[in-house]
Amino acid sequence: MNNITNDCRFLGRLVSDPRLIKTNSDVDLVTFTLAVPEYRREKNGDKKKNVSYFDFEAWDTGAATIAKYSEKGDEIFVHASARPNIWTDSEGVKRYQVKFRVKEFKLFNFKTQNETNVENEEGKALETISAENG
């Protein structure tokens, strides 16, 4: 039996500071874009770098953590699922975008307040965090 899953993993750098939004139901939502490099060898042996940009959203405690402890240029690992976003623009043209919903993430080079160690609610060092989806 074939099992098809919607499971994506990325390692990249934040293009800008994450944008934290409070929804009408007072739930945290953070959106951010990652620059994800990919390296390949050309036929002549030269190594070429290609960078792709992907849009993400995280909800609830995951959103608050990303917004609080990360900033432009920070490296982040994201485990996410792809979500289609389809709409009609003001000229009547149907538009399509894939956005990724964060399931888990790991922050690298994250900012800390007053240069103290960042800990989660259980007092453990902040490593892999499960993002709660709204």
Closest CA to 12 of 56, 42, 64: 56
Backbone angles phi, psi at 64, to 5 degrees: -65, -40
Q: What is the pLDDT of residue 114?
A: 41
Q: Which residue has the tokens 């894939």?
A: 98
Which domains does the chain possess?
A: 8-130 (2.40.50.140)
- Per DSSP (E only), the strands in the chain are 8-14, 19-22, 28-41, 47-59, 75-88, 94-108, 128-130
Closest CA to 6 of 81, 116, 62: 81
Give per-residue pLDDT as tens, 20-32.
Answer: 998 888 889 999 9
Q: Which residue has the tokens 């959203």?
A: 57
Task: Check: CB of residue 45 under 8 Å from CB of residue 74.
Answer: no
DSSP, collapsed to helix, strand or coil, labels residue 116 as coil
Q: Which residues of the chain have pLDDT under 50?
A: 113-129, 133-134
